[in-house]
Structure 1
Amino acid sequence: MSAAQPFASSGAINIIGALLEQRTGQQIAANRAWRIETALKTVLRAHELTSVDQLIARLTTTPSGPLADAVVDALLNNETSFFRDTGVLELVVEAAAAIAAEQPGRRLRIWSAGCSTGQEPYSLAMLFEEAYVTRGLPFPEIVATDVSAATVDRARAGRFSQFEIQRGLPIRRMMTWFNQDGTEWVVRPELARRVQFRRHNLAQDAAPPGKFDLILCRNVLFYFPPAMRSRAYQTLRSAIRDGGALLLGAGETVIGQTDAFAPCGRIRGLYRADSAQRVPQATAFG
């Protein structure tokens, strides 16, 4: 019996990887090339293709359009859950409340960059609803973005499977903020209106308009090559107020990568936007 043919040639895998980097800035490490084959199986079935090489041939004739979009969407790492690192999110909300208390009447602005299917910004909105209503503070403007148009559409629709809704979401909050619709759970309108979802490519686009007090960009820059990561830091810095803060993932750091941010004291992964101007000491940033 002859050896089984590979699902994709190395050349095809390189082309697909280059497409992902060109569109999103994200790289797939050589030791994770298997993700390409695994992630694209659904795309191949949907387009009646039997291999990645056939997919490459189809993309050669139609380099842009729904098929290319589907390939990029399939390769993006959309791993997320409700209240991921709950303690960190709660400290961020407390810090935001302290900033708001020092500047009464000003509405804070928060950007959730790389929001995936929306669990992070919806979690923030729940926390702010619970913390701010009792204090009479203006609810912050929450802008949530992702590079994938399909993912943004899913997040905006606010529909989650039973599996997704159970990942990190306590029953009390599930019953308070979601309605059941068959096998899915849908964000209630009073929570949905608290988040503005937009498509945004951190590797290519200018920052959303206006200045933000807090930016959450967790586990996004990790996948960028160094030069593109440096440009992304510049984009993030341009979007944040002096004295504001950037929250990265627990395994990410700005140290040795940019001078635009400096570590904060009390929250791992949180960085001040101006090393010469500290966030007010009353906040939880330290």
Structure 2
Amino acid sequence: MEVSEASHRVIADLLEARTGQHMSEGRRWRVTTALAGLFREQGISNVDQLACMLAEPGTEDLSKRVVEALLNNETYFFRDRAMFDQLAAKVLPDLARKRFATKRLAIWSAGCSSGQEALSVAMLILDQPGLWKDWTIDIVGTDVSEKAIEAARDACYSQFEIQRGLGVGQMLTHFEETPHGWRAKRNLRTMVRYRQRNLLGPVEIAERFDLVLCRNVLLYFDPVRREAAFDRLAGSLRPDGWLLLGAGETALGRTTRFRPTEGHQGLFVRTSEHEAQQRHVITHGARRVARRGSS
């Protein structure tokens, strides 16, 4: 059954309002599949009917469930392994030197989904005990999805989930088998704290981090929201900290707040305020020229 443009717009606007995510034409194909379970629960069969229900008063709970269903929570341990190798070989030793005087390290996993990314970083640290002896390590995982944060806090994974990205040695070292699945051991679980948080929402706390991982999140934003997200990330990162983006993401040409590090995929550092202003002038000047040329 063909779905009306108006109904798709209702769903897309709801997702964008709640999460900042833009539903491009390329993402529309998965809407019906993602909402299939909700259709069955509500006794309906298509997006048009759902859009009509959302127009009724008192549908806040339904709206939340629609958004949850549409969010892509795909993740696994050590996703894009080469990037975690960079963290272990370059970024974490660099931060160990820079923060040696205070022996305090703060890390933010933005868009942490069900916790595998944040726990992967924690495992890197636990696997380098000599480097981090007597340090205070604070890892924060945030995600817009309430269900994802609940799963992350539980830190219990199915056989399929635990085998995605983990070798047998890591699995047995850092997890224990329970009747409900493989649960992160206490020393690993307590390294990470989780919050439900919208990357574009109001700033609840003025934390500053030494390392921020924001992978496969910004690709769902339109250019305006993506630039706002980069501003938020820059404001949350210490001047000499590191930003790690996803394998298919870049800050180049998207923001003046970050510049890439040569020879390292996905790794970016903050630009100075002076450099950011210069980049802003150059970037926006180029855009004006391009607009005049196309008119």
Cα deviation for residue 134 of structure 1 reads 5.7
Q: Is the counterpart of residue 17 in structure 1 residue 18 in structure 2?
A: no
1:76 match: 71
Q: Judge which range, 62-71 or 136-145, deviates more.
A: 62-71
**Number of paired residues?**
273
- Please give the residue correspondences for 1:212-227 in structure 2 after superposition, counting only pairs within 5 Å: 212-227=209-224
**Structure 2 residue corresponding to 1:102, chosen from 81, 95, 98:** 98
2:112 match: 115
Q: Is the counterpart of residue 85 in structure 1 residue 80 in structure 2?
A: yes
Partners of 1:112 and 1:120 within 8 A in 2:
yes
1:125 match: 122
Cα deviation for residue 186 of structure 1 reads 1.4
d(CA) in 2 for partners of 1:207, 1:251: 29
Corresponding residue SS for 2:55: helix
**Structure 2 residue corresponding to 1:272, chosen from 269, 272, 278:** 269
Cα deviation for residue 36 of structure 1 reads 0.7
Alpha carbons of 1:79 and 1:25: their partners in 2 closer, same or farther (altered >3 Å)? same
Moved over 4 A (4+): none
d(CA) in 1 for partners of 2:221, 2:95: 31
Partners of 1:128 and 1:139 within 8 A in 2:
no
**Structure 2 residue corresponding to 1:181, chosen from 178, 199, 207:** 178
d(CA) in 2 for partners of 1:92, 1:67: 40
2:227 match: 230
Per-residue CA deviations over 1:41-85 (Å, capped at 9, x if unaligned) read 011112322222221222112465321111111111111110112
Cα deviation for residue 239 of structure 1 reads 0.4
Q: Is the counterpart of residue 49 in structure 1 residue 70 in structure 2?
A: no
d(CA) in 2 for partners of 1:268, 1:275: 21
d(CA) in 2 for partners of 1:15, 1:199: 24
Alpha carbons of 1:172 and 1:233: their partners in 2 closer, same or farther (altered >3 Å)? same
- Please give the residue correspondences for 1:194-273 in structure 2 after superposition, counting only pairs within 5 Å: 194-206=191-203, 208-273=205-270
Q: Judge which range, 46-55 or 57-66, deviates more.
A: 57-66
Percent identity for Structure 1 against Structure 2: 40
Corresponding residue SS for 2:234: helix
Per-residue CA deviations over 1:136-189 (Å, capped at 9, x if unaligned) read 251521111001111111111112122111111111111122222235221222
Partners of 1:132 and 1:139 within 8 A in 2:
no
d(CA) in 1 for partners of 2:64, 2:170: 34
Partners of 1:39 and 1:74 within 8 A in 2:
yes
- Please give the residue correspondences for 1:128-139 in structure 2 after superposition, counting only pairs within 5 Å: 128-133=125-130, 136=133, 138-139=135-136
Alpha carbons of 1:194 and 1:162: their partners in 2 closer, same or farther (altered >3 Å)? same
Q: Judge which range, 217-226 or 8-17, deviates more.
A: 8-17
Higher helix share goes to which structure? 2
The CA RMSD measured in Å over matched residues stands at: 2.0
Alpha carbons of 1:27 and 1:40: their partners in 2 closer, same or farther (altered >3 Å)? same
2:60 match: 65
Per-residue CA deviations over 1:208-236 (Å, capped at 9, x if unaligned) read 43211110001100110111111111111
Residue identity matched to 1:34: W
Alpha carbons of 1:36 and 1:182: their partners in 2 closer, same or farther (altered >3 Å)? same
Residue identity matched to 2:178: D
Corresponding residue SS for 1:108: strand
2:34 match: 39
Partners of 2:156 and 2:184 within 8 A in 1:
yes
Cα deviation for residue 261 of structure 1 reads 0.7
Cα deviation for residue 200 of structure 1 reads 1.0
Residue identity matched to 2:219: F
Partners of 2:106 and 2:209 within 8 A in 1:
yes
TM-score, normalisation: structure 1: 0.89
Residue identity matched to 2:147: A
Partners of 1:110 and 1:212 within 8 A in 2:
yes
State the structure with bigger RCO (CA 8 A, min sep 6), 1 or 2: 1
Corresponding residue SS for 1:101: helix
d(CA) in 2 for partners of 1:245, 1:254: 13
d(CA) in 2 for partners of 1:31, 1:97: 40
Corresponding residue SS for 1:265: coil
**Structure 2 residue corresponding to 1:169, chosen from 162, 166, 171:** 166
Partners of 1:263 and 1:271 within 8 A in 2:
yes
Q: Is the counterpart of residue 141 in structure 1 residue 135 in structure 2?
A: no
d(CA) in 1 for partners of 2:71, 2:32: 13
Residue identity matched to 1:219: N
d(CA) in 2 for partners of 1:137, 1:265: 32
